[in-house]
């Protein structure tokens, strides 16, 4: 499920966004509802906006079975809900490993 849906009709796909500076105005092309998208990062569990930026590694095989960081994804960790993961991230100063490692399918 998308994290952006129309509050009036529940539409996820027929949404049009236009940017004006720091504001994104969303228009639902199904029902016509127009709203400004809140870009404030929030914890998906408790809804707090007191979150800390962190990077999650995206790995891929670079040579044989060697894994390399191909890119990183910005995410936000909540000091309450993600306490342990945030402490490890801040102490190690390295990207958070992916949930699953890339594997080569067996035939």
Q: How much is the pTM?
A: 0.66
Q: Residue 43: phi, psi to the nearest 5? A: -70, 125
pLDDT digits (tens, 9 = 90+) for 11-29: 999 999 999 887 899 999 9
Instruction: Classify burial at 84, counting beta carbons within 10 Å of its beta carbon; exposed 0-12, middle 13-18, buried 19 or more.
Output: exposed
pLDDT digits (tens, 9 = 90+) for 68-86: 888 999 999 999 999 999 9
Note the pLDDT of residue 1.
39
Least Cα distance to 97 among 81, 80, 85 occurs for: 85
Q: Residue 36: phi, psi to the nearest 5? A: -90, 130
What's the chain's average pLDDT? 89
Q: Are strands 23-28 and 66-77 parallel, antiparallel or unpaired?
A: unpaired
- Whether 106 shows a pLDDT value over 80: the answer reads no
DSSP letter for 89, please.
Answer: H
């Amino acid at each position: 499920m998308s994290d952006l849906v129309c509050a009036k009709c529940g539409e996820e796909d027929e949404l049009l966004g236009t940017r004006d500076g720091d504001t994104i105005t969303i228009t639902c092309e199904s029902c016509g509802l127009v709203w400004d998208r809140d870009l404030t990062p929030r914890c998906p569990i408790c809804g707090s906006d007191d979150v800390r930026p962190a990077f999650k590694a995206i790995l891929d095989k670079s040579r044989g079975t060697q894994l390399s960081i191909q890119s990183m994804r910005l995410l936000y960790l909540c000091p309450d809900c993600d306490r342990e993961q945030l402490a490890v991230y801040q102490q190690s100063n390295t990207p958070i490993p992916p949930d699953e490692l890339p594997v080569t399918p067996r035939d």
